[in-house]
Amino acid sequence: MKIDFNKYPQPKKLRHHTAANLYFPLAELKKRPRYYPPLIEQIDWTAHFADGLPPGVLDVGCGKGKLLLDLAESEPKKNFLGIEVRKIVTDWLGGVISGESIPNVSLLWYSVVNGLNFIESESIERILYLFPDPWPKKKHQKRRAFNKSVLSEFHRVLIPGGKLSLASDVPEVHHHHLKMLEAIGLFDYQIIPKTDSWDLPPTNKETFCIKENIPFERIIAVKKNKNK
């Protein structure tokens, strides 16, 4: 999407990482941090999309939103919802969406580890979970949001045959994705070879990796049929 981003200066403290507490469900914390995203149980989609309909695609950890905006432009009749745990990013990208009057994109400041109760079961065509915060140290791996609980929620909200797209430039995270998919057994999946393209525009991170010749891995997981 062609946007003059000079109209939307990025915050000076726009960092990739954020506080570790945000990667744990609120119920597991002894005290709620003041910067913790609000819990969401229900949503009125008329307040989020021009047509008042629910989203068809979720971009979990949408970051600065390049992919989200590109997809929204290419499929104007479909609604796209970005979920981002960093409020400073959500505020900035929300300003872009509002300033450009983009009717089929909306954002939530939210931590996906608290579930997706506000999303109807079997309503989402595709979930994007691309280049998440890696937490590479062993003692920090429990902070990874891609766990059985979140993956079960992804499975619940996806339509039969719905897709989950994964990517990471950190080998340990790629193997973690594979391990979780194997452990839960609810998806068929395949690794997309580096030489193959896939049906998504590049994210900001993917563009950077290509420019800097940094290798990355991609996976497409498909929700299994109930009778399979």
- The answer to the question of residue 26 being in a domain is no
DSSP type of residue 101: T
Sign of CA dihedral 86, 89, 92, 96: negative
| Interval 48-58: pLDDT, tens | 999 999 999 99
Which stretch of DSSP H or E encloses residue 100?
A: none
| Interval 95-117: pLDDT, tens | 999 999 999 999 999 999 999 99
Closest CA to 113 of 48, 221, 15, 21: 21
- The answer to the question of residue 187 being in a domain is yes
- The answer to the question of residue 22 being in a domain is no
* Residues 61, 18: Cα–Cα separation, whole Å: 12
For residue 152, give the CATH number of its domain: 3.40.50.150
Q: Is the pLDDT of residue 172 over 60?
A: yes
Asked if 180 and 125 count as a contact pair (C-beta separation under 8 A), the reply is no
- The answer to the question of residue 30 being in a domain is no
- The answer to the question of residue 29 being in a domain is no
- Let me know if 133 is a catalytic residue: yes
- Residue 209: CB atoms within 10 Å: 18
Percent of the chain surpassing pLDDT 90: 75
Sign of CA dihedral 190, 194, 198, 200: positive
* Residues 144, 121: Cα–Cα separation, whole Å: 24
For 116, the domain range is 45-223
Give the per-residue pLDDT at 193.
87
Find the catalytic residue in 133, 169, 188, 199: 133
The pLDDT-based confidence of 89 (bands split at 50, 70, 90) is very high
* Residues 91, 152: Cα–Cα separation, whole Å: 29
Q: How many domains does the chain have?
A: 1
- The answer to the question of residue 25 being in a domain is no
The pLDDT-based confidence of 12 (bands split at 50, 70, 90) is confident
Closest CA to 217 of 187, 177, 160, 181: 177
Backbone angles phi, psi at 98, to 5 degrees: -65, -45
Backbone angles phi, psi at 35, to 5 degrees: -100, 10
Question: 57-60 and 105-109 as β-strands: parallel, antiparallel, unpaired?
Answer: unpaired
Q: Is 20 helix (H, G, I), strand (E, B) or coil?
A: helix
Residue predicted with more confidence, 163 or 2: 163
Structure tokens at 17: 């990482």
- The answer to the question of residue 137 being in a domain is yes
- The answer to the question of residue 94 being in a domain is yes
Residue 207 amino acid letter? T
Q: Is the pLDDT of residue 148 over 60?
A: yes
- Residue 49: CB atoms within 10 Å: 18
Give the per-residue pLDDT at 159.
97
